[in-house]
């Protein structure tokens, strides 16, 4: 018997379908930019970028944004023909083969979990400090971190549309306080008059600018997650590419402008020394000086909400990957079920939250520091892993446009795929060779942290080999996203070749 599909926006708990058509372009942009946590990466990391790269640091953010824009041209073109909500791993599976696809899927789960769980350390450290300074209350950091896990879980269960609205409000607040700081600096003319030294060749090609790229690419983490919400987006053929370009462009220009404004606040000749003297408090010093102490206190509070918004966005990305793998039979079916009322993958949310509590508990029992250990050590494999995923996806785009489905290619898309493959491979190399800037750890620790990425790919490849021999039906579905996915309008001339290619 044939049944009619549910109306847009209604969940089907029995089949595990996500709510359809609930996210527009603006909501997708909020999800992506919130994941990057602009206030957090600016106040917490940008001073270090200035210290390492000098006054040319603002251009590093523009460069990273340009590379990711080129990459977006290629992979958003693929979204028209690869309809799975599995995002990167689906593209890799349908271009490079299902073995590579499953390895990428496992790397995506590990990377996004590392990014999300590690940031609980930052949340705990920031909230603990703010509670003590503003309210005179001392709370153990593990209690703060677990409380954040609960808050993220509650909002995730209530549904993606609710989360998007909350993220929109929080994002406006955190970008607003940064703009207020920048306007204050510009209105006063900075420390010694405004200048454009940051954009001169001497600054842009300074000796530390290569290392700055490590921070700059990390500041865009999560930008690719627009494609994860394909099923839940309205008119995904248009909203997903629009949201991706809008998010990357906004972050590149915004980051560049804010970092330049902070350099002006200290003066181009004194900014590097000022950043080195007070890495953690440089932004708060600027806003206190040029706006007022009330604004500095507000910024401290908004850093906490910025981290919380990032946690929500990454949590949603993780559960979408989990849901897609469950629908394909790689993960147990029960973990992919959606809430009967809210249409959210609530079981995946619960599993991810339990994992977060376990990791937090382990670091707490080890008497580890929430910032230098939980944040930096757990985050680093996630940053490297996502950049490797982006590189593999760029390679997959080249293969897809040249071998799997040439009719889907355009000259612009193919050129972007080739260029982004080279640029992202170079960015990955730069990141790994400068990894100590992210971890502040020993060589042994750094090797172990980076080694998690290739180890994860090997485990994923081994799992794919096992599935191919023992569960061929499950193996054949890798990269499809489940039975309810629409693979997209594959051109007739390329259909046979595309189908043949996905058998690899």
Tell me how far apart the 2 most distant CA atoms of the chain are, in Å.
76
**Tell me: the pLDDT tens digits for 197-230?**
999 999 998 877 877 887 888 888 777 777 777 7
Q: Buried (b) or exposed (e) across 339-365, using 16+ Cβ within 10 A?
A: beebbbbbbbbebbbeebbebbeebbe
Q: Lowest-pLDDT range, 9-13, 31-35, 198-202, 448-452?
A: 9-13
Specify the pLDDT at position 371. 84
What are the angstrom distances between the C-alpha of 107 and each of 16, 210, 383? Answer: 24, 26, 11
437 within 8 A of 52, measured Cβ to Cβ: yes
Using alpha carbons, select from 43, 48, 38, 40 the residue that is nearest to residue 439. 48
pTM, two decimals, is: 0.83
Q: How many CB atoms lie within 10 A of CB 334?
A: 11
Percent of the chain with pLDDT over 70: 89
Specify the pLDDT at position 259. 96
In degrees, rounded to 5, the angle at the alpha carbon of residue 111 between the alpha carbons of residues 326 and 455 is 95
C-alpha 376/C-alpha 114 separation (Å) is 10
C-alpha 30/C-alpha 51 separation (Å) is 30
Q: Does residue 90 have a pLDDT over 90?
A: no
Mean pLDDT of 52-75: 91
Length of the chain: 504
Mean pLDDT of 84-97: 79
Q: Does residue 416 have a pLDDT over 90?
A: yes
45 within 8 A of 219, measured Cβ to Cβ: yes
Confidence of residue 155 (pLDDT cuts 50, 70, 90): confident
Specify the pLDDT at position 286. 95
Confidence of residue 244 (pLDDT cuts 50, 70, 90): confident
**85: phi then psi, degrees, rounded to nearest 5:** -85, 5
Q: How many CB atoms lie within 10 A of CB 433?
A: 12
Specify the pLDDT at position 338. 84
Specify the pLDDT at position 2. 38
Confidence of residue 26 (pLDDT cuts 50, 70, 90): confident
Q: Which contiguous run of DSSP H or E holds residue 280?
A: none
Specify the pLDDT at position 149. 95
Mean pLDDT of 297-321: 86
Q: Rounded to a whole number, what is the distance in angstroms from the first to the last CA of the chain?
A: 34
Using alpha carbons, select from 393, 219, 397, 229 the residue that is nearest to residue 321. 229
CA quadruple 202, 208, 214, 218: dihedral sign: negative
CA quadruple 150, 243, 385, 221: dihedral sign: negative
CA quadruple 398, 400, 401, 406: dihedral sign: positive
In degrees, rounded to 5, the angle at the alpha carbon of residue 399 between the alpha carbons of residues 397 and 402 is 105
Specify the pLDDT at position 503. 39
Average pLDDT, the chain: 84
C-alpha 318/C-alpha 438 separation (Å) is 23
C-alpha 488/C-alpha 408 separation (Å) is 11
3-state secondary structure 58-114: HHHHHHHHHHHHHHHHHHHHHCCCCCCCCCHHHHHHHHHCHHHHHHHHHHHHHHHHH
Q: Lowest-pLDDT range, 81-90, 442-451, 490-499?
A: 490-499
Instruction: Give the SS3 label for residue 23.
Output: strand
Domains of the chain: 25-481+489-501 (1.20.1740.10)
């Amino acid at each position: 018997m044939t049944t009619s599909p549910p109306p847009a926006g209604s969940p089907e708990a029995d089949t595990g379908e996500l709510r359809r058509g609930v996210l527009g372009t603006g909501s997708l942009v909020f999800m992506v930019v919130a994941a990057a946590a602009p206030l957090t990466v600016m106040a917490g990391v940008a001073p270090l970028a200035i210290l390492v790269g000098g006054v040319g640091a603002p251009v590093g953010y523009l460069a990273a944004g340009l590379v990711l824009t080129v990459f977006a041209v290629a992979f958003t073109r693929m979204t028209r023909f690869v309809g799975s909500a599995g995002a990167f791993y689906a593209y890799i599976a349908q271009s490079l083969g299902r073995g590579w696809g499953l390895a990428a899927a496992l790397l995506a789960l590990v990377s996004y979990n590392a990014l999300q769980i590690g940031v609980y350390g930052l949340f705990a450290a920031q909230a603990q400090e703010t509670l003590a300074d503003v309210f005179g209350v001392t709370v153990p950091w593990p209690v703060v971190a677990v409380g954040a896990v609960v808050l993220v879980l509650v909002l995730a269960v209530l549904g993606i549309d609710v989360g998007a609205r909350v993220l929109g409000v929080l994002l406006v607040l955190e970008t607003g306080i940064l703009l207020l700081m920048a306007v204050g600096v510009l209105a006063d003319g900075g420390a010694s008059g405004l200048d454009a030294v940051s954009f001169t060749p001497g600054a842009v090609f300074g000796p530390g600018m290569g290392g700055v790229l490590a921070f700059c690419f990390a500041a865009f983490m999560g930008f690719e997650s627009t494609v994860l919400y394909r099923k839940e987006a309205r008119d995904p053929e248009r909203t997903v590419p629009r949201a991706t370009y809008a998010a990357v462009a906004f972050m590149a220009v915004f980051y560049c402008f804010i970092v330049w404004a902070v350099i002006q606040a200290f003066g181009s000749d004194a900014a590097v020394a000022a950043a080195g003297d007070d890495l953690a408090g440089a932004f708060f010093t600027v806003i206190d000086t040029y706006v007022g102490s009330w604004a500095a206190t507000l910024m401290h509070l908004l850093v906490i909400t910025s981290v919380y918004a990032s946690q929500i966005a990454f949590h949603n990305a993780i559960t979408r990957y989990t849901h897609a793998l469950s629908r394909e039979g790689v993960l147990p079916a029960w973990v992919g079920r959606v809430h009967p009322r809210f249409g959210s993958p609530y079981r995946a949310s619960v599993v991810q939250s339990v994992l977060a509590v376990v990791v937090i508990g382990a670091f707490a029992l080890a008497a580890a520091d929430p910032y230098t250990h939980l944040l930096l050590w757990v985050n680093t494999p996630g940053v490297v892993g996502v950049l490797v995923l982006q590189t593999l996806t760029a390679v997959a785009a080249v293969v897809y446009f040249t071998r799997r489905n040439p009719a889907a290619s355009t000259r612009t898309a193919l050129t972007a795929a080739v260029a982004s493959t080279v640029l992202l491979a170079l960015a990955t190399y730069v990141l790994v060779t400068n990894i100590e800037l992210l971890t502040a750890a020993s060589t042994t620790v750094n090797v172990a942290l980076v080694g998690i990425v290739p180890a994860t790919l090997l485990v994923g490849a081994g799992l794919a080999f096992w599935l191919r021999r023992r569960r061929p039906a499950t193996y054949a579905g890798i990269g499809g996203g489940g039975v309810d996915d629409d693979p997209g309008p594959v051109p007739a001339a390329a259909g046979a070749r595309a189908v043949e290619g996905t058998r690899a």
